[in-house]
Amino acid sequence: MVDVILGLQWGDEGKGKIVDYFAPRYDIIARFQGGPNAGHTLYVKDKKIVLHQIPSGIFHQNTINIIGNGVVLDPVTLKRECELVSSFGIDVKKNLFISKRTNLIVPTHRALDKASELQKGESKIGSTLKGIGPSYMDKTGRNALRVGDIMSKSFTTQYIKLRLKHQKLLDNFHFIDDISDWEEEFFEAIDFLRTLNIVSGEYFINEKINSGKKVLAEGAQGSMLDIDFGTFPFVTSSNTISAGVCTGLGVAPQKINEVLGVTKAYCTRVGGGPFPTELNDETGENLRKVGNEFGATTGRPRRCGWIDLVALKYTVMLNGVTKVVMTKADVLDSFKELNVCTAYNINGEETNEVPFQLMQSEVKPQYKNFEGWNCDSGKIKDGENLPVKMQHYIKFINQYIGAPVAYVSNGPQREQIIKI
């Protein structure tokens, strides 16, 4: 049986904290897509940790963590992260497994990402520059190197072949950065990777499922960044929705049970692309300040705005969400009034659907206004003690999106979560 936790907006919904909270109920936590573009924050003994490649269950001694075939893996980031996790007394050689079919990010992928963004100029995606797009291109282009390849004697030859191919592309971009330092650390990290548990992920996970073990699949990014259904081309390069669990781990659809969708009580986006409810004013500034909305991977200020129920209902539909987790409700504590977007007005026409092109300039969000609850919600432990005005806000969202908000997160710490 596989449950899923994934983001319903444009990423950074608080998935890391929520996975860490639920992890003790599972035997295995599995990342199924994305790569080091992810930044999942959790707190261990009051220390803030940001994970990019390793699943967010790694701090629980009895939980197995697996990096699935749908992930793109940067060995350098992985090595660094393993060192961090080990400093907390976690044995990564015991608790971490990596699928042989996971695609590798090589140094020239990062260079190509940078070159491609530079060439796009004003219309750049705002990529994290971690090499995600180019490495997924090599996967679908059938050129990629995979983790299983590092055991082969011909790995270096395969690497050189791919590097030469990339060099021609970089020459076309007139890209001249010296990446020899990156290569040196890449090969050191490959040596380290060889010491970890490398497995046939699809057999590994299915054997566990068949013996009654419980798996939690951890999504990265958010559904509005999905390569097929997100705000293309301002998206990432993988399927971030629940369908990605099947291809990203090798599990069949009927094995999937609960899908927990995580949404903030408002909305943020980092990088370029449309964001209908964005607030380019003092309220937006306040959300950024109170919510500490700065990217966990790149440190960039996140764009902030009201919750968008048109987009949320769409992503609930795409994922088959069974329960919603609403995070950062405490961030709204001090706001006198709140808005929720219930429709888009596009060129004078009102719609409740996410259109093919969601270009910001044409879309006017239609809002329903709520009074803020104006009290400190961070210490509340029970659903019935939530401010009545917050309960109204949540009830409206439940009804609109057709899925229940079952948990409210009211602070960044592990225990700051309320079941309702």
**Of 113 and 330, which CB lies nearer to ligand GDP in the complex structure?**
330
In the bound state, the residue with its beta carbon closest to ligand GDP is 41
Contacted entry of ligand IMO, ligand GDP, Mg ion, none for residue 236, CB cut-off 5 to 8 Å set by kind: ligand IMO
Residue the block writes with tokens 């520059």: 129
Site for Mg ion in 1-20 (CB under 5 A): 12
The reply to whether 244 sits near ligand IMO by the rule CB under 6 A is no
Please give the angle made by the CA atoms of 210, 214 and 97, to the nearest 5 degrees: 85
The reply to whether 358 sits near ligand IMO by the rule CB under 6 A is no
The reply to whether 20 sits near ligand GDP by the rule CB under 6 A is no
| Phi, psi of 256, rounded to the nearest 5 degrees | -85, 130
**Of 345 and 413, which CB lies nearer to Mg ion in the complex structure?**
413
Q: Which residues contact 226 (CB under 8 A, 6 or more apart)?
A: 235, 236, 238, 239, 240, 241, 244, 318
- The one segment of 25-33, 68-76, 214-222, 328-336 that binds ligand IMO by CB under 6 A: 214-222
- The one segment of 75-83, 291-299, 322-330, 411-419 that binds Mg ion by CB under 5 A: 291-299
Q: Which of 8, 9, 16, 273 binds ligand GDP (CB under 6 A)?
A: 16
CB 19, CB 7: distance < 8 Å: no
Give the chain's largest Cα–Cα span: 65
Q: How far apart are CA 291 and CA 268, in angstroms?
A: 10
SS3 330: helix
Rg (CA), the chain: 21
Q: Which of 331, 338, 340, 403 binds ligand GDP (CB under 6 A)?
A: 331
Q: Which residues contact 301 (CB under 8 A, 6 or more apart)?
A: 270, 288, 293, 294, 295
Q: Which helix (H) or strand (E) holds 133?
A: helix 132-140
Contacted entry of ligand IMO, Mg ion, ligand GDP, none for residue 37, CB cut-off 5 to 8 Å set by kind: ligand IMO
Active site residue 12: yes
Q: How far apart are CA 332 and CA 374, in angstroms?
A: 8
- Min dist. Cβ of residue 249 to ligand IMO (A): 17
Q: Which of 282, 260, 344 is nearest to 308 (CA)?
A: 344
Q: Which of 128, 239, 242, 409 binds ligand IMO (CB under 6 A)?
A: 128
Residues that bind Mg ion (CB under 5 A): 12, 39, 296
By annotation, the residues acting in catalysis are 12, 40
Residues that bind ligand IMO (CB under 6 A): 7, 10-12, 37-40, 125-128, 130, 132-133, 220-222, 225, 236, 270-272, 296
